[in-house]
Every structure is written in structure tokens, then in C-alpha cells.
Amino acid sequence: MKHALNLYRRLLGVQIRSQMQYRASFALELVGTGLIALFEYASLALVFERFDNLGGWTLGQVAFLYDMAEFSFGIMDMIFAGFDPSLFGQNVRRGTFDQLLLRPVNISVQVLGSEFTLRRIGKIIVGAGIFASALALNPVAWTPPKALLATLMAVSQVAFFGGLFIIGATITFWTVESIEVVNIFTYGGNYMISHPMHIFPAGLRQFFTYIIPAIFLAYYPALYILELPDPFRLPAFAPWLAPLAGLSVLMAALAFWRFGIRYYQSTGT
């Protein structure tokens, strides 16, 4: 375990150093991803100007949910970049993945250490800035439990999105042709948790409550922090289920991942 952590640190160092070799392109991408993020927020705000509210939620409230998801996704995208399905699928086809299997280190640690997209920092910084301004739009009093829950929310969402990436990466052991399907899966998950869940049909919402517990990752913590009433009358501890939901998705994903590796070892590329 200690060996794995130590190694992870070194592999990250390698990633960062090799990205710095292409300094100019690094800077460009940094600015680029930041600008794209800014543009996305701006278009959201524009859409909002026309409708004024979304399912009864104000711009500030929706922005809180949306920005939190964007911010967490950005962080996840940086940390879990090695599991990015399209990149990972390529590595499997090219045989790079075989090289990882030939080394005496935990395979997930190696995949995590195989890529670290530092340039996402641009997006993360913009996301954090916009998240801060979204907070300013919400006239709620901050308390220590709320701050704690907001932090848990971000961490749990990172785990959740990471789980989606791992599931997507695992699917590429079976097929690369359906990489689009895999993407719908990851980006669909992002869409679900960045919108107030009461706007979705009951069936879909129940799926994301009882099957994939995404509702506890964003919607319920948001209700608590923004002091909104719960239309579905779940118990009062529902917002605090966020870490459990994030962790369980990540654990399920890792179990699927191990199953996928066994499958890969029986079929090769």
C-alpha cells in the first residue's frame, strides 16, 4: 500500500514533467479549457434569462447545483484521466495496458498514474470562481454543518464521476465501437446531477434514487444548504447520504473493473 502510494506520487511527477515539456501548448490548453468553461456558464445564464426559473428554482439555486457538478467533474477529470474511456480504450488497443499488467504494482494505481491532465486546472479555477459567485446569489446563512456538507458533496461527486469513468473504461474491454454509448453514460450522469431532480419524470427520478443513488449526491445536499423544502418527503438525514452514495458507486465500479480485467485476460485484444 505504501509502495503503491509512493509510486503514484512518482508517476504523477512524471506526468506533470512531461506535460511541462510542451509549455506553450500547455498554456494554451489551460486558457482554452478555462474559456470553454466560462462560455458554458454564460450560455446557461442566457438560457435562464429567457425562462427566469427552472422547475421553480432561481438562477442562483440552479447555478449552485450546476457549478458544483462542473467543479467536481473538472477535478475528477484531472485525477481520473487515466480512466477516461476514449483514452483508455486506445491504450488497450495499442497494448499499453499490457505493459501495466507486466509490472508488479496494483493495476488501478498504475492507470490512475498513467495520466493526469493538469490543464484541467483552467476549468477548475473558472468553475470555483463561478461557484463562488453562485453562492453570492443565494441569500442563505452559512453554518458549519452546511460548509461540511458542501465539502462532502464535492468529494462524493468526484467519487461518483470517477466511478462512471471507471465503468466506461471497463466497457471498452468489450467494445470500442460503442464509445459514444459510454460517453452518453458519463455525460448523462453529469447532466442528471447538475439539474434539480424534481423536473424529471418520476420513473427516471426513482431510478436515480434507488438504483443509482445520484439524487443524494447533489439534489438533497442542495435542498439542505439552500434551505428548500423536500417535495418527496425523505427522512431528514437524506442529504447526509452523499458520501455513502458516492462511495458505493465507486466501489461498484471497481468491482466491475476487476471483472473486466479478468475478461480482458481471457480474450486479449
Partner 1 sequence: MIRVENLSKHFKVFKHHRGAMGTLRNLFTRQYNLVQAVNGLSFEIQPGELVGYIGPNGAGKSTTIKMLTGLLVPTSGELSVMGLLPWRDRQKYVARVGAVFGQRTTLWWDLPVIESLNLLQHIYKIPAASFKQNLDEFRTTLELDPFLDTPVRALSLGQRMRADICAALLHDPEILFLDEPTIGLDVVAKERIRQFIQQVNRERGTTVILTTHDLSDVEKLCQRVMIIDRGKLLFEGQLDALKAQFGGKRELLVDFAEDYPSPQIEGAEIAGREGGRVSYRFARGEIAASELIGRISAKYRIRDLEVREPQIEETIRRIYEERLLEN
CA 193/CA 245 separation, integer angstroms? 12
Among 3-11, 39-47, 122-130, 140-148, which window interacts with partner 1 (CB under 8 A)? 3-11
CA 53/CA 57 separation, integer angstroms? 5
CA 107/CA 172 separation, integer angstroms? 16
Across 255-269, b (16+ Cβ under 10 Å) vs e yields ebbeebbeebeeeee
Quote the least distance from Cβ 201 to partner 1, whole Å: 26
- Other CB atoms closer than 10 Å to residue 193's CB: what's the count? 26
Residue placing its CB nearer to ligand ATP in the complex, 131 or 264: 264
Total binding residues toward partner 1, as defined by CB under 8 A: 27
**What SS3 state is found at 184?**
helix
Asked whether position 144 contacts partner 1 by CB under 8 A, the answer is no
Residues 17-46: x/- map of binding to partner 1 (CB under 8 A)?
xx--x-------------------------
Asked whether position 183 contacts partner 1 by CB under 8 A, the answer is no
Asked whether position 268 contacts partner 1 by CB under 8 A, the answer is yes
Closest CA relative to residue 44, chosen from 216, 191, 162, 161: 191
Quote the least distance from Cβ 90 to ligand ATP, whole Å: 17
Asked whether position 268 contacts ligand ATP by CB under 6 A, the answer is yes
CA 221/CA 156 separation, integer angstroms? 11
Please give the residue ranges that form the binding site for partner 1 (CB under 8 A).
Answer: 3, 6-7, 10-11, 14, 17-18, 21, 94-96, 98-99, 101-106, 177-178, 262, 265-268
Residues that bind ligand ATP (CB under 6 A): 267-269
